Amino acid sequence: MYPHERSLVKKMQGRPFALVGVNSDRDKQELQEALEKEHITWRSFWDKSTGGPIASTWRVHGWPTLYVLDARGIIRYKWVGGPGEAVMDKAIEKLVKQATVRRTAAR
Amino acid sequence: MHRVVGLLLLLPAMAMAGDNAKKQPMDQYQALVKQYNEQMDAFREAVRSAKTPQQRQQAFLRQPKTDKFAPKFLSLARKHPRTPAARESTTWVVGHASSNKFRGQALGILRRDWIKDAKVGPACMAATDILQPQAEPFLRAVLAKNPNHDAQATACLALANYLKDRVMPAVENIKDRPASATRYANELGKGFVQRLRQLRPAKLDEEADALYERAIREYGDVEVNGQAVASVARPELFELRHLTIGKSAPDITGEDIDGKTFKLSDYRGKVVLLDFWGNW
């Protein structure tokens, strides 16, 4: 999971994309160690448990749950459990292209 | 004297033989359920107490095969049609069988014999577990024809959930991923996939929305699995309106690990992969 996320962040540098986490670990110390060890550079909301307020509002029942929002904040994909790297990359690439065109056109 | 004693001795024996010969269908149903549950308990214990990867592998082999039990439940239902044992057996198959064939057969029996039964609720909830061609016609029939208020309530909620959680995601999957379409066709039939292709997400959304509203309005106080329908339907309706494909995501305001507050909407203008994760 982490290697793919790291490579995604690297690949998308300079393009209109952001990886945002919602983390459900209870122990701050353990979480900080994990962030360092796995070189997790993207930001996460710290929800503090699988029953945390964000996971509850978003009705998350399985981990990981992944949402892809387009540049206007519309939900375009939802996966419970990873759908595989190829599927994710294709979906994200398509939306980032659209966001880039929109950005360029707006100038 | 001898004759009376003889008769008295004979009577209990006759009664026992009678019990064994016509073991009631419900008793047979209970026995099958008990057998399955005991195997599940043994399986779980084996997994729990496994200490090495090899032991874990061995433990997983002990998982009871629902598709070995399903034919037994179906056979019981067919031998004793229109008895409570038939209703319970077919409900068990709908909720437990992994094979589409067995679930389909069970739903067929339920639709033929049980849509007007006051106790068909659990079968309705079981039907929402997995995408299945016969589930929707069954649920619609119960909602339309069952005279019992509580059964209607369950069918209304179940149909809404089924559309939101099974049909709508399948329609999206088929659009985006040809491999999904092939898989669905293999498991559920080409005809079913063709029907799915013709469904419009907006219309499904509208219907599910209306069903949740109806559940709250008409059946709000009915208790299903110990919860009032309204309190179950409201969060489902929220999910439908705000967390499904095409909806504007709710904003999030929260703290990161360093205690700094930020918002999801800070990233507007960028494509966001929102990843619910944990290291546990």
Q: What is the ipTM of this complex?
A: 0.96
Please give the residue of chain B at the shortest CA–CA distance from A96. Answer: B271
Q: Distance (Å) from the C-alpha of residue B63 to the closest C-alpha of chain A?
A: 22
Instruction: Say yes or no to pLDDT of A88 above 60.
Output: yes
Which residue type occupies B265? Answer: S
Q: Do B243 and A73 touch (CB under 8 A)?
A: no
Q: Which residues of B59-82 are buried (b: 16+ CB within 10 A; e: fewer)?
A: beeeebebeebbebbbebbeebee
Tell me the percentage of chain B whose pLDDT exceeds 70: 92
Q: Do A19 and B267 touch (CB under 8 A)?
A: no
Q: Which two tokens stand for residue A67?
A: 């949402």
| Interface check A74 vs B, CB under 8 A | yes
The more confident residue out of A8 and A101 is A8
* Residues 6+ away with beta carbon under 8 Å from B141: B111, B115
**E-only strand ranges, B110-189:** none
Q: Do A68 and B239 touch (CB under 8 A)?
A: no
Q: What is the pLDDT of residues B208-264, one digit of tens each?
A: 999 999 999 999 999 998 999 999 999 999 999 999 999 999 999 999 999 999 999
pLDDT confidence band for B12 (50 / 70 / 90) = low
Is the Cβ–Cβ distance between A100 and A16 less than 8 Å?
Answer: yes
| Interface check A59 vs B, CB under 8 A | yes
Q: Do B248 and A73 touch (CB under 8 A)?
A: yes
Q: Distance (Å) from the C-alpha of residue A15 to the closest C-alpha of chain B?
A: 8
Q: Distance (Å) from the C-alpha of residue A85 to the closest C-alpha of chain B?
A: 13
For position B21, what pLDDT does the model report? 46
3-state secondary structure of B169: helix
Q: What is the pLDDT of residues A11-60, one digit of tens each?
A: 999 999 999 999 999 999 999 999 999 999 999 999 999 999 999 999 99
**E-only strand ranges, chain B:** 223-224, 227-228, 253-255, 261-263, 271-277
Tell me the percentage of chain A whose pLDDT exceeds 90: 82
Pick from A31, A46, A67: CB nearest B249: A67
DSSP letter string, B20-72: HHT--HHHHHHHHHHHHHHHHHHHHHHHHH--SHHHHHHHHTTS--HHHHHHH
